[in-house]
Copies of this chain bind each other. A is one copy, B any other.
Amino acid sequence: MVVPIILIVALIAGVISIAAAIIFSILVLKEDPGNEKMIEVSGYIEEGAKTFIKTQYKILSIFVGVLFVVILLFLPSELTEGKIPIIELEANWEQAIAYLVGSAASMFAGYLGMIIGVKANTRAAQGCTKSLDKGFDVAFFGGSVMGLAVVGSALIGVSTIYWIFQTPVVILGFSFGASTIALFMKCGGGIFTKTADVGADLVGKAEYHLPEDDVRNPATIADNVGDNVGDIAGMGSDLFDSFVASILAAMLLSNVIFASLSDAVQGAFAIFPILLSSVGLFASLIGIILIKWLKTKDPGKLLNLGTYIATAIFALLGALFVWILTATTEGITRAESWIMWKNYFAVIIGLLSGIVIGWTSDFFTRADKAPTKNISRAAQEGDAVVILSGFSYGLLSVVPPAIGISVAMVLSYWLGGVYGVAMAAVGMLAIVGTVVSNDAYGPIVDNARAIAEQGGLGEDVIRTADKLDSAGNTAKAITKGFAIGAANLAVFALLFSFATEAGIIAAIEGGTGMDLLNIYVLIGAFLGVVAPVLFSALLILSVQKNATVMVEEIRNQFESNPKILEGTEPPDFHKTINIATKGALKELILPSILSVSMPLLVGIIFGVAALGAFIVGAILSGFVFAIFMSNAGGAWDNAKKWIEDGNLGGKDTPTHRAAITGDTVGDPFKDTAGPSINTLLVVMTLTSTIFIGLMLLVNGGDGLLALLEAWLRGLF
């Protein structure tokens, strides 16, 4: 009885969310786009972004098409715990279609959010000519479109699929679709944006001493395009992916853990993550609207205030809905109600720990805190010392969130077992609408600043835009911490559902657990730890390779046409955008193939228990590298900005140049490799879960090596 009502609530929430996104889009589009020059520049950015996305979506459709066929043919049967499956084309159709829908939904949300983001740029710049508040409003609503589109389309997708198929298993296909898109968007967008950024900085700033965003720099527009495709579309698809994965993990687990309860009660637990995510959406929406009414001189604080408001509303509304759910579920016992309440507390713990992780990122990357200050001071000793300092603090910054996640895991486990851990992930992602909105705000104001510069709006306006920009950076620290922490918890939760499906839980008959003292499991964990390392190396190398091509092109333009530097002729933006696009798409092929093929190979060769350990290894080292790279990159960036604000001698000093080196090294850390790792983890875990039937066919899930071992033992 209750389940359909909750699904209706979720669908309504989704529709409201999309509607709000459309209304905000219209509001943003109504704003004044500024003077002719601004419209022109903004047009270039839009064109570049569209070109990139179109080319990327074309390649993506091939990738998605191939995986569609693979799912259709190689997905033996529906997942059934522990049993050897057979190929059932009918069941595979469901997954394959869900996969397509998931891909499409993520693409839609990414495209809408990005386009509005691009449109909001110039309008936010123009808003800054009026007041800080006006500029903030335009940028913030522009960003909210992405946040709302993500949550809305994800919720609609998940609830519709669950309604039709009545089982969370099909949501697996949806989630897998979302995560393959996210992988392309994060890696491709990340490589694109840093190719342009690093290229522009290396020639423009270091060789020709042009200021940031100077129109004469041929890579400036590509840099702005990169902000949109990397930070807006990429981050949106990343959180779409984590959001769906967290709901999926909890639902899959509820299927097994509460199997012995009555249908109604089991249904209530299955639907619980969808309910709380819908509540989170309302909370985010209220938070977004409240931000509109609150005025402050400090937009950074305002953004964070929005997060806290959404959290508080979520906690209250969530409690209300838990109360309603326990009150209306037929035949629920007191003990079962109490379990539900305990899981609600696990959700709150997840959410709070997300905020705490955000705070620690904030501490390690803020210019006015000790780590970044020390990094700035290290810049006085030269390039090498600023790198060493940022590197060390980046590594150090891994410790507090690791402890934070561990505490959250222990507490949520105590409250609700592995289902509780999954619910903590749901909690961390509950206010994802707010998180994505805050995050998309960043590149919009970054671009607004660039357009203000290029549109000749004068020093005052640029300073206003700068203020908005630095607010974006403050908020970003928290949202990044959230994104990494949430993806990690979600993947941990998925791991438990993977283990359940694979029948390797020790409590299941014949389940051996994932015993690290088993040599294959141990090696699985080893290879898992190495996977994100390989992945990061490939992505950073790609950026470095492409940036070198970009540098050649920029130098070439400056040398072949001196009028560009004089400012009397515009540079060729198209060529640089083209280089970034082609380079990014070429370079993301290998990482994408690896992310899908590595878990398949490990599972087939070493068996499913080793594959579980592979996932654990990847999560653990992925966490370390993601946090390290994000925070080191953020700290270098802010150290450079702090020096540019006139500290330690200010701009154009050797100290400043050393800080720029730090920032340039940090760019692909924080915007390419670091954030892509999340997505890698989700893709690998979902690949493992979705193809588990295939792996169970190989030597009963024990893998080829065990087969070979047995054969050899027979020989000798």
Contacts and interface: CB of A to CB of B under 8 A. Distances in A.
Given A383-B383, A387-B387, A544 B392 contact: yes
A517 B496 contact: yes
Contacts of A536: 392, 395
Nearest to A384: B664
Main secondary structure of the interface of A (DSSP, over half): helix
A380 B514 CA distance: 48
A352 interface: no
A316 interface: no
A620 B399 CA distance: 17
Contacts of A206: 382
A228 B605 CA distance: 46
A645 interface: no
B519 A413 contact: yes
Contacts of A519: 409-410, 413, 418, 421
A396 interface: yes
Nearest to A520: B410
Number of contact residues on A: which range applies?
35 or more
Interface string A377-399: 01001111101110111111011
A620 B406 contact: no
A526 B617 contact: no
Contacts of A392: 536-538, 540-541, 544
Given A515-B514, A621-B621, A665 B388 contact: yes
Contacts of A381: 202, 547-548, 551
Contacts of A389: 541, 544
A7 B559 CA distance: 76
Interface stretch (A57-65, A173-181, A527-535): A527-535
A504 to B, nearest CB: 8
A624 interface: yes
A706 to B, nearest CB: 11
B516 A506 contact: no
A163 interface: no
Contact of A526 (B388, B402, B661): B402
A661 B517 contact: no
B516 A613 contact: yes
A396 B534 contact: yes
Contacts of A414: 709, 712
A202 B395 contact: no
A140 interface: no
Nearest to A496: B517
B522 A616 contact: yes
A516 B384 CA distance: 40
28 contacts: A198-B385, A378-B548, A383-B661, A384-B660, A384-B664, A385-B664, A388-B540, A389-B541, A391-B540, A392-B536, A392-B540, A392-B544, A395-B540, A396-B534, A396-B541, A398-B533, A410-B520, A410-B523, A414-B712, A421-B519, A504-B517, A506-B515, A513-B513, A516-B612, A525-B525, A529-B621, A533-B624, A617-B620
Nearest 10 CB-CB pairings of A with B: A384-B664, A513-B515, A395-B537, A514-B516, A529-B620, A392-B541, A396-B537, A392-B540, A383-B383, A383-B661
